[in-house]
Amino acid sequence: MTPGPEHPGLVARLVNVGLHYGKTVALQGITLEIPAAKMVGLIGPDAVGKSSLLALLAGARAVQNGTVEVLDGDMTSRRHREQVCPHIAYMPQGLGKNLYATLSVEENLQFFGRLFGHPAAERRRRIDELCRSTGLTPFLARPAGKLSGGMKQKLGLCCALIHDPDFLILDEPTTGVDPLAREQFWDLIKHIRTQRTGMSVIVATSIMDEARNFDWLVAMNAGQVMATGSPHELLTQTHCLTLDAAFIALLPEAQQQGHREVTMPPLVVAANAPLAIEAEGLTMRFGNFVAVDHVSFRIRQGEIFGFLGSNGCGKSTTMKMLTGLLPASAGRAELFGQAVNPKDLATRRRVGYMSQSFSLYAELSVRQNLVLAARLYRVREADIPVRVAAMVKQFNLAGVLDVMPDNLPLGIRQRMSLAVAMVHQPELLILDEPTSGVDPIARDTLWQLLAELSRHQRVTIFISTHFMDEGARCDRISLMNDGKVLATGVPAELVRQRGLPTLEATFISYLKDAERLDQTTVPGTVAGAKASPGPLTGTTTRANILRPRRWFSWRRALSYSRREALELRHDPLRATMALLGSILLMCIMGYGISLDVENLKYAVLDHDQTGLSQNYALNLSGSRYFTERPPLADYAALDQRMRSGELALAIEIPPNFGRDLERGHRVEIAAWVDGSMPQRAETVQGNVQGMHQGWLVDMAIHRLGQQVVSPATIETRYRYNPDVLSLPAMVPSVIPILLLMIPAMLTALSVVREKELGSIINLYVTPVTRAEFLLGKQLPYIVLGMLNFGLMTLLAITLFGVPVKGSFAALAAGALLFVMFSTGFGLFTSTFTRSQIAALFLTIIATIIPAVQFSGLMNPVSSLAGTGAFIGRIYPATYLLTITRGVFNKALGFPGLHASFWPLVLAPPVVVGLAILLLKKQET
Amino acid sequence: MPDFVIIYRLGIKELWSLARDPVMLVLITYCFTMSIYVAATAVPDSLDKVPIAMVDEDASPLSARLAAAFYRPRFNAPAHISLAEMDAGMDAGDYSFVLDIPPDFQRDVLAGRSPAVQLNVDATRMTQAFVGSAYIQQIALGEVGDFVQRYRSSTPPLVDLNLRARYNPNLEQSWFGALSEIINNVTMLAIILTGAALIREREHGTIEHLLVMPVTPAEIMLAKVWAMGLVVVVAAGFGLLVVVQGVLRVPIAGSVRLFLAGTALHLFAATTLGIFMATLARSMPQFGMLAVLILLPLQMLSGTFSPRESMPEFVQIVMLAAPTTQFVDLGQAILFRGAGLAVVWPQFLALTGIGALLFGFSLARFCKTISELA
């Protein structure tokens, strides 16, 4: 490890760093020295390795090749990472990815404050300070998921700044945010930097224009650094005027090929051209939320019409109303002069649609996708090859026809998606953010194609985008914000009217107007947008944070517990599963796994019809096990009624039964049992035999006057459950299974959910340890498990009428130890699953099979052999089963059951320990 | 009026999607091969190495003879324990049965005093308690009878009971296990395959694209129903003919074709149910949880785990409305008891009705939630 002072003025240093995910190379040969106390920009389109590089700097991802030094230390060293992580703040890509969507702003901030160990008063002070300066104060109670994009990013920034970092890492913080919020965000960063001059900031962005005012830039492409330097240096080096152009100029020759400036021939549309789309007062409400608010516009045939606005401003919703995907709450929309009607399939054939997610079937090849779309649009079968060939030529897809879309770069997928939307030669194209996440060259290529479609094939194009330069290329645009259209017109015209230099500045000025309007009508609500910069970090002393690290902090663990409990409360399905799942399943299993054989239907085929034969039949009908059905007439009826499953037992009494018996001849009664369910048949056989013997003895004594003395008798004592009923036996056995499956499943999901949603990043980059993280998450589920245990015991006593005969304390102690095991087992399975669905199935399989097959539920463990016996002996469910049966049925307490407690005491530390060891503190 | 060409084309697309989804293919293969094999072979007969103990207070030739009468595979060799150890052993669940032979047992038997042997049964072991005690009683009395026979003669009973099991003469668990597993897996796969297919379209955003095309929701639903139904019917047929008949050598009493026809009818209801559940869930994990909560009751209460007549009456009545109950009835009648259409037509009729109702209901729900799906 190199000591610090060797590289003064650097915040981070990378030497020959490489990174790959499987076969995909993300970074290669990166050598970079990042200056300290500067605003550093990492520029380049999506998927060039910017995020990977930042994750390495933050310590969120493990270093594979090369050296990464941050804040004067090697990031491969765990000790160094632990030391510096309180000084680094990392905001990952994606709106609010490290936030918890169902938690309120306040709850999110409190959670992060606790993670860094601030006491309550300190947390309050910092949260108030940060919220005041970012304008979040009025929104403290609002769930993070319901904030606008710009607000989410501000909250993310607050969460990152709560511990006064020295090094701030921001990954695409402004993607998808409206220009005004973007401008405010950068103002905020600038303000913070004037307060804390020593702080280093590194920002990744794909919006090149943003990087104009940064101190120092790193241009990246295909996992490599192309150039570094100040913005001015990069511009002069490439002789370009804009950073976009400079970036393209920096690209290798091969990639530049085929690129040309987009040329948009002038629009030649007669003023009286018919309308393609007409919308009047279009409104969409979801509950209280107005997504689209009285939007009106007209699009003439042949025009390129653009919707410009941030994510979530209502662009997609408007487009969906026009396609008939969403029924409008109010207002009127017409396509080609006819009202939009979801049932009108003919109009749909005149429209092509391309959505944000590109909507391609990943399991179908490029060709299959094209053919399927053509067929669904009812292109004549004979024309399909011609159309597909035309699309392949126009959109340059010849080389990739038989490739699966997922294996293609984003740019090609986007062209293909456009081809799919065009395959049936629509007159109108509706394109919902077709260019998000695509590099500048691919974007220009797409626009070239759009120009051709519009100007040569006279296709009307309705497009939405959040890129200003794309807005400028449209014939006419609408500026949208918060579900409202702010202005509509020719882009150059709009800019001229406001007298501002660029479209972006024009948009911002419209946004500011809208805000003023809002403020006058609803005072206070939008105060958030107006930040009141105040002192951010005036009085905080470093010493607060630089306390020595402890191995385990209850404060951090409990902050995870508290958060988990809050989240569970907001998720109805998981909460239902957690509370009612076990009750529901207990009822089902209690009634469903009934081994009582009662009310079996039988019928008699009586060839004799004498008093004696009727007496035999009567003997059966008196039993609670049997219910008599109408007698059988002949063999055909016997056969038919047994086949249909109506009869479980048929008895045939031979002719002359009474006469022969009285004469002392041997007679034979035949009985057929339905053997299709072997378990039931065995019981039936036993019952019939018992009845038969009883009848014989009875007959011998009463009819024949014989004295029968058997050599010995058997006195059967059914212990613990004298009536041999299923319910008292099943109910206590079901409790361990349910205490195992549901808590394990929920705990596993709670960890894997964080992996899937991305908030696991907080484990990687904050001082929380693996033990704190896992134990903190486990705790609420132990409480839930015990709550379930209480409910199930109550249900057993009340609904099922199975009393607790033995020591309840022993039962509760056993259940507590077992729930600690089962939740721990969930943590354990979560360490090697990545998706929630996999975790769900894995936990079910790994809990149910051993619990049902090998834990003595059906067959005692002592009957098992080999692997089954081994699993039975080490699986804790075996021991809880002994305890529940012991307490419920056998009236036992601690003294009688102590042998079953030791394995239960041992199990939780073992599984939780394994889970802690296997959990990774960095992404690998 | 749905367009059948479109339904056909969309169904073919579903088949392609499934063919390229390795996880689902593994699941289908497992369900109709390994899973059947395990269900048939892993479930032991109810009396299999039963743990039994003996308190021998007599220590006579007769008591030794009794001890020797219990042997594998039905019983473990009896453990000889003292009277004091009996309660502890039974409390801990070490023994399901304990035979207590009283002092002077042999002498009393020979003297015709008809002494009593005590049989203690752990009645919390439901599977063994009832059948086992009848069996033990028979063995023990038989041994005593044989022993006495040598000393004096007695008359055999005048009325014999000729007890036979139909459809499965030796009451082999594997027959029941294998066929029940097929019946259960048909339902499970139908629901999971269809539901997952819809949720995948939603997660990938392709449903949105379908809905702007000239395709109606009914066509989308029917395409998934036929494609996934076909896959399950083919897989079930394979499981029956190759795994059950071929590998496990379990005889099938009735017509496989009739059963598959019934399966197809059931699948219409089950796949529709899968779609309905997919409209309730917002993501794959939610769908998984919902599937656990719905599949378990459907299967456990339909009669494949334990006979329906031993369930409470209201459960029996409510479950008549479940397609699984009808399907289990029909399946057991055809596969186990060789019933023909003349016997099972009521179930066919009921399945058609339930399927039609479910389809109408799901289609209404599907149309209503489409805007949320996209």
H or E element: which one contains A87?
A: none
Between A699, A844, A859, which is nearest B48 by CB? Answer: A859
Put simply, the answer to whether A716 touches B133 (Cβ < 8 Å) is yes
Which pLDDT score is estimated for A546? 43
The answer to whether B14 and B179 have CB atoms below 8 angstroms apart is no
CA A113 to the chain's CA centroid: 26
Q: Identify any residues that bridge with A201 across adjacent strands, giving them in sequence order.
A: A39, A168
Q: What is the mean pLDDT of residues B55-62?
A: 91
Cα angle for residues B175, B178, B182 (degrees, 5° grid): 135
In our burial notation (b when 16+ CB lie closer than 10 A, e otherwise), range A257-279 reads eeeeebebeeeeeeeeeeebbbb
Between B115, B172, B284, which is nearest A712 by CB? Answer: B115
Dihedral, CA atoms, B13, B15, B17, B19, nearest 10 degrees?
-150
d(CA B232, CA B264): 9
The pLDDT tens digits for A61-75 are: 999 989 999 988 898
Neighbours of A680 (CB within 10 A): 22
DSSP-derived secondary structure letter, A531: -
d(CA A151, CA A310): 12
Q: What is the mean pLDDT of residues B294-312?
A: 81
B285 prior amide bond cis, ω within 30? no
The answer to whether A183 and A21 have CB atoms below 8 angstroms apart is no
Position A512 confidence tier, pLDDT thresholds 50, 70, 90: confident
The pLDDT tens digits for B326-342 are: 999 899 899 888 888 98
Q: What is the mean pLDDT of residues A354-375?
A: 85
The pLDDT tens digits for A648-657 are: 899 999 998 8
Residue B81, both tokens: 């324990």
d(CA B326, CA A38): 73
The answer to whether A262 and A473 have CB atoms below 8 angstroms apart is yes
3-class SS shares of chain B: helix, strand, coil, % to 5: 65, 10, 25
The pLDDT tens digits for B107-136 are: 998 888 889 999 999 888 877 887 888 888
User: In sequence order, what are the residues at sequence separation of 6 or more whose Cβ sits closer than 8 angstroms to the Cβ of residue A195?
Assistant: A535, A536, A537
SS3 call for B15:
helix
Neighbours of B85 (CB within 10 A): 16
Which residues does chain B have within 8 Å of residue A677's beta carbon, measured at their own beta carbons? 176, 307
Q: How far is A164 from chain B (nearest CA, A)?
A: 37
SS3 call for A354:
strand
The pLDDT tens digits for B123-181 are: 888 778 878 888 888 888 888 888 887 765 555 567 788 888 888 888 887 888 888 88
A407 conformational bin, left if phi > 0, alpha if psi -120 to 50, beta if neither: alpha
Q: Amino acid identity of A29?
A: G
Which residues does chain B have within 8 Å of residue A696's beta carbon, measured at their own beta carbons? 157-159
The dihedral through the CA atoms of A258, A261, A262, A268 has a sign that is negative
Q: What is the mean pLDDT of residues A846-862?
A: 80
Q: What is the mean pLDDT of residues A759-778?
A: 90
**pLDDT score of A768 more than 70:** yes
3-class SS shares of chain A: helix, strand, coil, % to 5: 50, 15, 30
Find, among A487, A666, A756, A863, the residue nearest to B48 by Cα.
A863
The answer to whether A166 and A88 have CB atoms below 8 angstroms apart is yes
d(CA A85, CA A165): 9
Put simply, the answer to whether A690 touches B134 (Cβ < 8 Å) is yes
Q: How far is A591 from chain B (nearest CA, A)?
A: 6
Question: What is the pTM (predicted TM-score) of this model?
Answer: 0.82
Which pLDDT score is estimated for A462? 93
Which pLDDT score is estimated for B154? 53
DSSP-derived secondary structure letter, A406: G
Find, among A155, A169, A187, the residue nearest to A50 by Cα.
A169
Give the residue, A533 or A411, on which the prediction is more confident.
A411
Position B223 confidence tier, pLDDT thresholds 50, 70, 90: very high
Neighbours of A804 (CB within 10 A): 16
Put simply, the answer to whether B123 touches A729 (Cβ < 8 Å) is yes
Q: What is the mean pLDDT of residues A631-639?
A: 90
Q: What is the mean pLDDT of residues A314-336?
A: 86
The pLDDT tens digits for A232-285 are: 898 888 888 888 888 888 888 777 766 667 777 777 766 677 888 888 888 988
Question: What integer best gives the mean pLDDT of chain A?
Answer: 84
Q: How far is B223 from chain A (nearest CA, A)?
A: 12
In our burial notation (b when 16+ CB lie closer than 10 A, e otherwise), range B316-326 reads beebeebbbbb
ipTM of the complex: 0.84
What is the length of chain B? 374
Cα angle for residues B47, B52, B57 (degrees, 5° grid): 145
**pLDDT score of A525 more than 60:** no
Nearest CA in chain A to B134: A686
**pLDDT score of B371 more than 70:** no
d(CA B207, CA B199): 9
Put simply, the answer to whether B292 touches A844 (Cβ < 8 Å) is yes
Which pLDDT score is estimated for A543? 38
**pLDDT score of A456 more than 90:** no
Which pLDDT score is estimated for A523? 38
Residue B209, both tokens: 């694209």
The number of CA neighbours under 13 Å toward the Cβ of B253 is: 22
> Which structural domains are found in chain A, ordered by start?
4-256 (3.40.50.300), 554-590+725-918 (no CATH), 600-702 (3.40.1710.10)
Neighbours of B142 (CB within 10 A): 11
Residue A79, both tokens: 């000790």
Dihedral, CA atoms, B131, B132, B137, B138, nearest 10 degrees?
70
Which pLDDT score is estimated for B212? 83
Which pLDDT score is estimated for A883? 94
CA A597 to the chain's CA centroid: 45
Position A534 confidence tier, pLDDT thresholds 50, 70, 90: very low
DSSP-derived secondary structure letter, B102: P
Indicate the CATH number for domain B52-149.
3.40.1710.10
Question: What integer best gives the mean pLDDT of chain B?
Answer: 86
**pLDDT score of A522 more than 70:** no
Find, among A254, A229, A249, A252, the residue nearest to A239 by Cα.
A249
The pLDDT tens digits for A151-205 are: 888 898 888 888 888 899 998 888 777 778 888 888 888 888 888 888 899 999 8
Give the residue, A476 or B1, on which the prediction is more confident.
A476
- What interhelical angle do A894-918 and A770-798 show, nearest 10? 140
**pLDDT score of A827 more than 90:** yes
Which pLDDT score is estimated for A901? 94
B contact test, residue of A286, A325, A843 with most B CBs within 10 A: A325
Put simply, the answer to whether B13 touches A361 (Cβ < 8 Å) is yes
Helix/strand number for chain A, H first, E second:
32, 24
d(CA A777, CA A198): 36
DSSP of B142-179, one letter per residue? Answer: HHHHHHHHTTS--PPPSEEEEEEEESSTT--HHHHHHH
Q: Which residue stretches of A116-271 are H helix?
A: 120-134, 149-161, 179-195, 231-238, 243-250, 253-256
d(CA A20, CA A22): 6
Give the residue, A866 or B185, on which the prediction is more confident.
B185
Which residues does chain B have within 8 Å of residue A585's beta carbon, measured at their own beta carbons? 293, 296
**pLDDT score of A544 more than 50:** no
The pLDDT tens digits for B182-197 are: 888 999 899 989 998 8
Put simply, the answer to whether A325 touches B212 (Cβ < 8 Å) is yes
Put simply, the answer to whether A899 touches B92 (Cβ < 8 Å) is yes
Which pLDDT score is estimated for B373? 55
Which residues does chain A have within 8 Å of residue B162's beta carbon, measured at their own beta carbons? 668-671
d(CA A87, CA A166): 5
Which pLDDT score is estimated for A811? 96
Neighbours of A23 (CB within 10 A): 5
Neighbours of B173 (CB within 10 A): 21
The pLDDT tens digits for A142-155 are: 888 878 777 888 89
Between A404, A732, A859, which is nearest B127 by CB? Answer: A859
Between A678, A863, A885, which is nearest B172 by CB? Answer: A678
Residue B62, both tokens: 């007769």
Nearest CA in chain A to B347: A644
User: Domain map of chain B by residue range?
Assistant: 4-43+172-373, 52-149
Percent of the residues in chain A that have a pLDDT greater than 70, as a whole number: 93
Put simply, the answer to whether A711 touches B109 (Cβ < 8 Å) is yes
A contact test, residue of B128, B192, B212 with most A CBs within 10 A: B212
A contact test, residue of B119, B125, B250, B252 with most A CBs within 10 A: B125
